[in-house]
């Protein structure tokens, strides 16, 4: 077991938001806890390909943008299921109340399906700032790179911690401290760019600030218990190399 010191307490605002999010998505309503949070997440991920395919058939939209969106968002859901099968994240294994699981779906996971609906239904036709082939290339590249980064980060963490507990400072964690979150942001950012509407931007702002940023702050407070944390923090970026 690596040496450890007293961790730095997280900021009060982050701790408060973290407790509220946990109450809303895990404890809401009280009562029995029949579900794992992972089951709620996997239900949405598994259903994405089917939901988007049904939308394409229902609205008769066979456009290139619709099929690319299905390929990106739908396949990402299948990739997530494979990841969860091979190296599941322990934090997703927590048992949740029925109300908590429903809240997690309604307020975070469910709105992601509306991204595809906006594009496929024709309610909000996308008018991209660049020619379509260039924009499609940008979105596909962003999604692929983000998927590879997220998978690599989660796999490294899972298999490293099985051998030895401690601070991970090499691999994809050698330059940024939260590569898995950056990967997720690139993935969902690609979906939002492909839809090109204000609603996905609003949802992602809510999730990235209210959930991702809070989780990253809480994680860093916990990791500060390791003696090598101060040096690691000085030589790495929080999220984006040379930017943040």
Contact 217, 190 (CB under 8 A): no
Q: What is the pLDDT of residue 3?
A: 54
Domain total for the chain?
1
The 8 Å CB, 24+ separation contacts for 102-109 are: 102/28, 103/24, 103/25, 103/28, 104/24, 104/25, 104/26, 104/37, 104/40, 104/41, 105/40, 105/43, 105/44, 107/24, 107/25, 108/25, 108/207, 108/211, 109/40, 109/41, 109/44
Decide: helix, strand or coil at residue 176: strand
Which residues lie across from 176 on neighbouring strands?
237
Q: Is position 5 within any domain?
A: no
Residues spanned by the domain of 152: 12-221
Q: Is position 173 within any domain?
A: yes
Q: Is position 118 within any domain?
A: yes
Per-residue model confidence as pLDDT tens digits over 170-190: 999 999 999 999 999 999 999
Q: Is position 232 within any domain?
A: no
Q: Is position 65 within any domain?
A: yes
Least-confidence region, from 3-12, 36-45, 219-228: 3-12
The answer for residues whose C-beta is within 8 angstroms of residue 128's C-beta and 6 or more apart is 135, 196
| 234 CB neighbour count, 10 Å cutoff | 7
Contact 24, 53 (CB under 8 A): no
Q: Is position 240 within any domain?
A: no
Q: Is position 234 within any domain?
A: no
Nearest to 191 by CA among 122, 123, 126: 126
Residue range 118-135: mean pLDDT, rounded: 94
Q: Is position 233 within any domain?
A: no
pLDDT averaged over every residue in the chain: 94
Give the whole-angstrom CA distance, residue 218 versus residue 61. 43
Is 75 a residue whose pLDDT tops 90? yes
| 224 CB neighbour count, 10 Å cutoff | 19
């Amino acid at each position: 077991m690596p040496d450890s010191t007293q961790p730095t307490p997280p900021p009060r605002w982050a701790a408060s938001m973290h407790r509220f999010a946990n109450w809303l998505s895990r404890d809401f309503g009280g009562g029995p806890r029949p579900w794992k949070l992972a089951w709620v997440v996997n239900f949405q991920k598994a259903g994405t390909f089917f939901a988007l395919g049904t939308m394409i058939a229902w609205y008769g939209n066979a456009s290139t943008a619709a099929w690319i969106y299905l390929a990106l968002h739908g396949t990402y859901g299948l990739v997530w299921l494979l990841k969860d099968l091979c190296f599941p994240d322990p934090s997703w294994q927590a048992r949740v109340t029925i109300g908590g699981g429903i809240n997690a779906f309604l307020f975070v996971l469910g709105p992601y399906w509306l991204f595809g609906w906006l594009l496929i239904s024709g309610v909000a036709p996308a008018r991209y700032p660049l020619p379509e082939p260039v924009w499609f290339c940008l979105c596909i590249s962003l999604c692929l790179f983000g998927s590879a980064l997220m998978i690599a980060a989660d796999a490294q963490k899972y298999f490293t911690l099985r051998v030895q507990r401690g601070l991970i400072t090499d691999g994809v964690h050698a330059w940024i401290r939260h590569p898995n979150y950056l990967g997720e942001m690139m993935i969902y950012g690609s979906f939002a760019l492909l839809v090109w509407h204000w609603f996905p931007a609003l949802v992602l702002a809510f999730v990235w600030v209210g959930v991702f940023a809070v989780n990253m702050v809480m994680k860093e407070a916990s990791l500060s218990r390791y003696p090598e944390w101060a040096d690691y923090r000085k030589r790495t970026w929080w999220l984006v190399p040379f930017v943040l």
